Homo-oligomer: A and B are copies of this chain.
Amino acid sequence: MYRTHTCGELNIKHVNTSVTLSGWVQKNRALGGMIFIDLRDRYGITQLSFHQTHQEKAFNIAKEASRESVVKITGKVIERESKNKNLPTGDIEVLVDELAVLSKAKIPPFTILEDTDGGEEDRMKYRYLDLRRPNVQEKIILRSKMAIEIRNFLNNAHFLEIETPFLIKSTPEGARDFVVPSRMNPTEFYALPQSPQTFKQLLMVSGFDRYFQIVRCFRDEDLRADRQPEFTQLDCEMAFVTQEDVLQTFEALTKHMFETFLNKTLEDFPRMPYKEAIENYGSDKPDLRFDMIFKDLSSDFKGQGFQVFDKAEIILGIAVDQAANYSRKQIDGLTDFVKKPQIGAKGMVYVKYLEDGSIKSSIDKFFTQTQLQKILEIHKVKKGQALFILAGQVASTRKALGELRLHIGKNIIGVDSEIFKPLWVTDFPLLEYNEEHNKWHAMHHPFTSPKQEDLHLLDSEPHLARANAYDLVVNGVELGGGSIRIHQSDLQEKVFEAIGFTKQEAKKQFGFLMDAFTYGAPPHGGIAFGFDRWVSLFSHSDSIREVIAFPKNNMGKDVMINAPSKIDQEQLNELALEVKA
């Protein structure tokens, strides 16, 4: 037997008990005729004491027990002289009679502590050691607990977890697929799923009614920050539901998760149409932890001879608390921020409304104090605030000001990490224009239903048609999104047409789905959550990488196992493939 107890469970009640423990040597301190070892496992830390006079043999082995070695001990629980109130086991220690080193450790490449001296690369290469750090381990444990909680919640709500295939068909729509050559069907390939979308819809056609799956999905994208080639989705679908049913069901799940894991009781989530989110926050995933709603200043500032404003399609500003006190340097910093290529503004105008009622601005040449004061008052800017203004083409100005708003909110004003502001963004456009491919794309995916009242726009002005699509956003992070789907074969055909599929292409790619709709298909809809993002939010992580046991790096590589890698020529031959060097 390797243990009678874990390293996290012994306390004052166990005094005088004989115990066997196994674990890792976290610390090893010699004090004259005594040695103290902190023994660690997943459940906690227990202090072991070795007395030379009590058991010389164990004492001598303990001397050599290097950090991170795995040992097994037998001894008696005794009360500690100096108790450690920060440790659940801090009232006791184990006076060791016998010690066996089960596995001796070399010096690890970095320290196994909350704060490590290991760089990113080393920690990824030795991920199995990184995962020993308690703060890293906690995230993986939280992930596990969140998954089972979600499963039980949905199971209680009569959802069935149904597994869908991983070896499916490649589709040109959307992001790039990972493909898998078929040896048994040479020259043909499977694709790994980007999501189980069509399968979950077929399950609704089959009558399964309420489906979910916590499932791996794959996207062969150029990896930006916080993207992984494989990621985990909580994928859900319901039949005989309206959008309202879906939102209610998953708002309840979300609230339950916040309650269970963060001890937060959330109010009902506000709803915000996409149009409003874009107009007021410059983003379809507004961070509601701070205000700074966009003010449209176009009519106020135009026509006064200031070229930058006069030429602009739109002039937008945000009023920022206490910004009247911002220094020249701070303002320059903000201007530099908006002029960064990824933000793309040409410059920033400021109008400070000082506490004494005076106004300082970067456009004093073009506007009188009276003019400015009037504008500030119309837009309810308060003394002590400053108005930061961007002008230009509509979409890019909104986007840039949205970024500025986030920058000020997060990095200057600052946010309380314990505040969570969820909302539903609704009424997304059905289509969006893809500049790269020069054609209309489905904004959500081509199975999303248009709003009944916008159906007539599909022929005339398809870009104006709104969809029954919704996103769940928390603190500016999109946790999930979904839609009510099309369940009619003819409407599905029409939407395919709108995004430039010929009838043949549509039939070839998704014929099975359109066929399915002709044999009695229920109205249905659903949602998919980024499970990695959800865990990341709940564990205050900076990146989804921190909540994945074995993540890939920015090049899609697992540097620990060294994947991907070359394969044998024999394997290539069997697959009827040739690699072009």
Binding site for B on A (CB under 8 A): 1-3, 22, 24-25, 40-43, 68-70, 102-106, 108, 126-129, 131-132, 137, 140-141, 143-144, 147-148, 151-152, 155, 160-170, 172, 176-192, 198-199, 202-203, 205-209, 216, 218, 220, 222-223, 229-230, 232, 240-242, 487-488, 512, 515-523, 548-550, 552, 555-558, 560-568, 571, 574-581
Contact = CB atoms under 8 A, between A and B. Distances in A.
Nearest to A21: B240
Given A103-B522, A148-B155, A183-B220, 9 more contacts: A2-B523, A41-B207, A131-B203, A131-B208, A132-B207, A137-B207, A143-B162, A169-B558, A577-B579
A339 to B, nearest CB: 31
A143 B203 CA distance: 15
A402 to B, nearest CB: 30
Given A140-B160, A565-B188, A68 B520 contact: yes
Contact of A131 (B131, B137, B206, B577): B206
Nearest to A105: B520
Contacts of A571: 170, 176-177, 179
A522 B528 CA distance: 38
Contacts of A548: 163
A176 B568 CA distance: 12
Contacts of A141: 160
9 contacts: A69-B520, A141-B160, A144-B160, A166-B192, A166-B218, A167-B229, A187-B579, A189-B564, A190-B564
Contacts of A161: 144, 147-148
Given A169-B562, A230-B165, A561-B168, A140 B198 contact: no
A163 B199 contact: no
B565 A576 contact: no
A182 B564 contact: yes
A43 B69 CA distance: 56
Contact of A576 (B184, B192, B209, B579): B579
A165 B415 CA distance: 34
Which 7 A/B pairs are nearest by Cβ-Cβ distance? A105-B520, A131-B206, A2-B240, A188-B564, A169-B563, A182-B564, A144-B160
Most B-side CB within 10 Å, residue of A70, A128, A232:
A128
A517 B229 CA distance: 29
A136 B163 CA distance: 15
Given A548-B163, A575-B179, A132 B206 contact: yes
A576 B568 contact: no
Nearest to A104: B520
B105 A519 contact: yes
Contacts of A564: 167, 169, 180, 182, 185, 188-190
B152 A189 contact: no
B102 A523 contact: yes
Contacts of A170: 565, 567, 571
Nearest to A216: B166
B206 A137 contact: yes
A216 B518 contact: no
A2 B165 CA distance: 30
Given A520-B69, A565-B170, A550 B199 contact: yes
A438 to B, nearest CB: 16
A221 to B, nearest CB: 9
A162 B168 CA distance: 25
Contacts of A241: 2
Contacts of A581: 187, 576
A564 to B, nearest CB: 4
Contact of A240 (B3, B69, B179, B516): B3
A518 B185 contact: no
A323 B375 CA distance: 105
A240 B579 CA distance: 45
Contacts of A128: 202-203, 205-206, 516, 519
A566 B68 CA distance: 51
A168 B548 CA distance: 14
A579 to B, nearest CB: 5
A22 B523 CA distance: 10
Nearest to A107: B519
Nearest to A24: B520
Contact of A185 (B151, B165, B517, B556): B556
Given A169-B565, A180-B192, A207 B24 contact: yes
Given A189-B567, A512-B561, A558-B168, A184 B222 contact: yes
Given A70-B521, A178-B180, A162 B188 contact: no
Contact of A148 (B151, B176, B517): B151
B207 A42 contact: yes
A578 B576 CA distance: 9
A390 to B, nearest CB: 36
Contacts of A517: 103
B522 A22 contact: yes
